[in-house]
Chain A
Amino acid sequence: MRPVGVAGLGLLGAVVFVAAFGPVLWGDQATVVDTGNLLAGPSAQHWIGTDNLGRDLFARVLVAARLSILLALAATAISLVLGIVLGAAPVLVGRRTGRFITSAVNVLVAFPGLLLVLFFAVVFGVGARGAALAVGLAGAPAFARLCHTLVAAVSERDYIAAARIAGVSRIRILLRHVLPNIAEPLVVNATMAAGGVLLTFAGLSFLGLGVQAPDYDWGKLMQDGLNGIYVHPLAALGPGIAVVLAGLAFNLTGEAFAAAPGRVRPLGPARGPSVRTAPVPGAVLSVDDLRVTMPGPVHAVRGVTFTVGEGEAVGLVGESGSGKSVTALAVAGLLEPPVRVEANHLVVAGEEDHRRLGTSLAVVFQDPMTSFNPAHRVGPQLAEVSRFHQGMSRRTAFARAVDRLRAVRIREPERRARQYPFEFSGGMRQRAMIGMGLMGNPRLIVADEPTTALDVTVQRQVLELLAEVRRETGAALLLISHDVSVVTDVCDRVLVMYAGRVVEELPAGDLRARARHPYTRALVAAVPDLETDLDRPLAVIPGLPVDPMSAPAGCAFAPRCPLADDHCRAVAPPLLAGVACHKTAEVRV
């Protein structure tokens, strides 16, 4: 946690301590009447002076902490509960009534907060209870809006729909599914809001609308001290400082929670300097013994060696979690600490530099929606690449963006370039993404599951586009997919990954009928096509993929392999002549 957070927590601890034990520790001192010292200034005996009965003000400030904090918390709780009820209205009372409530809340949020507080304070009458209700009610709309946003996000999750279909009541859905999943941001916000409420409350008491004598909170003490402000400023400033400190305590703590990153165990330093090797000549991409480790530690890639030749299309297949995407990200230089990337060499188009993206390298990701910034128009986003990497002017870069959109067969590119990503269909966004890759003159295109999120017909178009781009630009392609048929369609050569290693490397044409590794064969057999025998169950790979936290010592596929023996379990097979298996001889082709 950052120092600010530590300070906030420390401060909050002190405030809570004073609120809890203040009246016990200083209660007597705060009520002792010292008739010889009425309205006295600061002295060694009374640090910030005394009030009109000669009572010690410092003690009174400490004692007032409890009431001030409790009232602030009570008001915050009222805001929070009301906010949850109003914000969750669409879940509780159905869409139509919910929409009405939401609009009402939006109107209320637009009112100045102070106005609401004063209005309610007058309605509920003078006094601590009235003030708590007033501040609580006035704070509710803001919480309601926050809740509404959070609830709306959670409500779209399928598990909420599943619970409804299962007949779970609305209240139970709210309590069991919605609230637990929005609790975190809500608590953070409530903590921060409590600081503000404290201030508002002090204001009300100061105005005489809040706590009434003989009770006193910080606001009341400030009011009492106001009369003598020119003579003994500390009498009014003392409780004011207390308000500020307590408010800060809440705010800083809330901020600290909000900013706290997910807890991760950092990785130790890399194992010594590794061997440096020279790239394979003539290859666009040459990778030797790539190892990627995530905090955990998760050994996502455990020594991968391969090349992609000039203009070649290479496929990378394997189950999810096998390390395909991580390999792609490492190639693109997109992994940053705490992820650790090591290799004997990793060279793209002759460069080992990590800023290859946008010039000699283009990347297309699976989800075209997340690859674009939703807040910016498509054309300028493409143009950005050339302005950044090639130093083009805004106008030339935009013209090139339009030209590239045309190159990826987007109709009316001038108009489309001025649209936002959400105005594009999934297939069009993916085209635009490829277009973005073509802003430079890429020698290598890395495409990670570029068609997985698309329909078959659109999938087909995107794959054809990739093939066309390659024909026209001569760029090489590294195509990542879990779909064997996509890879066989498009690629010349295929690498099969399992548990962070390449287990087989073969010509794409051999994948269906001439694979030698048991895993590759199982993977191919598992895909139904339009000729699959309907009378037999589909081939499946028994068991589960390896947990990357604990990759076994021997062959990682052994627990699922029908041919595995003790030797397999003890000794990891090296990749020899394109296959990493001890028993290739036994696998009949």
Chain B
Amino acid sequence: MSVLSFHEVSVRYGAHTVLNGVSLEVPAGRTVGLVGESGCGKSTLARAAVGLAPVTGGHILLDGRPVPNRGRRPVQMVFQDPYSSLDPRMTVGESIAEALPERLPKKARQAEIARLLALVHLDAARAGDLPGRLSGGQRQRVALARALAARPEVILADEITSALDVSVQGAVLNLIRDMRRDLGLSMLFISHDLAVVRYVADHVAVLHDGEIVEQGPTARVLGDPRHDYTRHLLAAALPLKEQT
């Protein structure tokens, strides 16, 4: 179990500041929800932690040391779009095998792939399928299995259910909760859906225009929001008819 911490992290693209001095901690074995509207920098924060976005200020530490930026990363990420997250020309098994930290003999590799597929509640027979034959929910589970294959300490889940049907979303959210319980993973769970974040996260941080405007235990932030922007988000999440 590891702690992922962001210290005054800034990301700038040219003159455009995407993140401005963001400090956030993902404690060991905990799930931290990150909410905010699209374009506010949620994905950039996650991408910065795995070296996909340039950190122009501050630092990102894993257990007090810089996150390794080469080779297998102990921080793994799962992406939003199930249709872009798997190589259409590689089978499920090949995609997962690619993330395994060491080269295994064929038998052992197949057993490991089957184990990982079982973790995300997929049948081992799926290993031979190309992504084209999987539904969106199944693809996201394969993407999770691939992230787990790398034996990560921390998982960054970037809007992983927002492209899914509600019926499938439930299964993926349950899976996320099971994984935290059984594997003790630390997780940064990004979403714009407050109900979803409330369900999976212990802590929640609200990002607005590249800055964290509020953070704290989920129940407190959603039950007693202190920042106007948080209240605004909460209002939008209530049914239209109940509001008026």
A residues within 8 Å of B by Cβ? 157-159, 161-168, 176-177, 180-181, 319-321, 426, 455-460, 463-464, 467, 482-485, 488-490, 522-523, 526-530, 532, 534, 537-541, 544-545
Contacts and interface: CB of A to CB of B under 8 A. Distances in A.
A544 B135 contact: yes
Nearest to B38: A455
Interface of B: 37-38, 47, 50-52, 70-73, 75-77, 79-81, 84-90, 95, 98-99, 101, 135-136, 138, 143, 146-147, 149-150, 165-171, 173-174, 177, 192-196, 198-199, 222, 232-234, 236-241
Contacts of A180: 87, 89
B170 A526 contact: yes
A312 B39 CA distance: 35
Nearest to A459: B236
Given A167-B72, A460-B240, A319 B167 contact: yes
B86 to A, nearest CB: 6
B95 to A, nearest CB: 7
Contact of A540 (B146, B167, B232): B167
Contacts of A459: 236
B237 to A, nearest CB: 6
Given A522-B167, A530-B238, A540-B174, 16 more contacts: A158-B81, A158-B84, A162-B143, A166-B76, A166-B98, A166-B99, A168-B98, A181-B89, A527-B166, A527-B170, A527-B195, A532-B195, A532-B198, A539-B170, A540-B170, A544-B135
B239 A485 contact: yes
Nearest to A322: B165
A338 B46 CA distance: 44
B236 A488 contact: no
B166 to A, nearest CB: 5
A549 to B, nearest CB: 11
Nearest to A457: B236
Contacts, number: 148
Given A168-B98, A319-B165, A538-B174, A457 B73 contact: no
B37 A163 contact: no
B52 A181 contact: no
A-B pairs with the 4 shortest C-beta distances? A167-B72, A166-B99, A158-B79, A538-B170
Contact of B37 (A181, A321, A456, A528): A456
B28 to A, nearest CB: 21
A529 B150 contact: no
A177 B237 CA distance: 39
Contact of A181 (B51, B87, B171, B234): B87
Contacts of A457: 37, 232-233, 236
Contact of B77 (A165, A484, A544): A165
Contact of A541 (B50, B77, B167, B233): B167
A489 to B, nearest CB: 4
Given A159-B85, A455-B37, A176 B236 contact: no
Contacts of A164: 51-52
Nearest to B218: A534
Contacts of B236: 456-457, 459-460
Contacts of A426: 38
Contact of B222 (A167, A168, A530, A537): A530
A162 B85 contact: yes
B84 A167 contact: no
- Which has the most chain B C-beta neighbours within 10 Å: A168, A319, A488? A319
Contacts of A456: 37, 192-194, 233, 236-237
B40 to A, nearest CB: 9
A532 B199 contact: yes
B166 A526 contact: yes
B117 to A, nearest CB: 15
Contacts of B84: 157-159
Contacts of B81: 158
A170 to B, nearest CB: 11
A537 B174 contact: yes
B86 A528 contact: no
Contacts of A530: 194-195, 198, 222, 234, 237-238
A73 B234 CA distance: 64
Contact of B87 (A177, A485, A528): A177
B79 A161 contact: yes
A50 to B, nearest CB: 54
Contact of A545 (B70, B135, B196): B135
Could you say which of A459, A467, A530, A544 has the most chain B C-beta atoms within 10 Å of its C-beta? Answer: A530
A167 B167 contact: no
A3 B178 CA distance: 59
Q: Name, among B136, B138, B239, the residue most crowded by chain A CB atoms within 10 Å (CB to CB).
A: B239
28 contacts: A158-B80, A158-B84, A159-B95, A162-B146, A164-B51, A165-B51, A165-B73, A165-B150, A166-B76, A166-B146, A181-B88, A181-B89, A455-B37, A455-B38, A456-B193, A456-B194, A456-B233, A456-B236, A457-B232, A460-B236, A464-B240, A482-B165, A523-B167, A529-B195, A530-B237, A539-B170, A544-B135, A545-B135
A201 to B, nearest CB: 34
Contacts of B37: 455-458
B239 A489 contact: yes
B98 A528 contact: no
B38 to A, nearest CB: 5
B162 to A, nearest CB: 9
Contacts of A489: 239-241
Contacts of A167: 70-73, 99, 101, 150
B194 A158 contact: no
Nearest to B35: A456
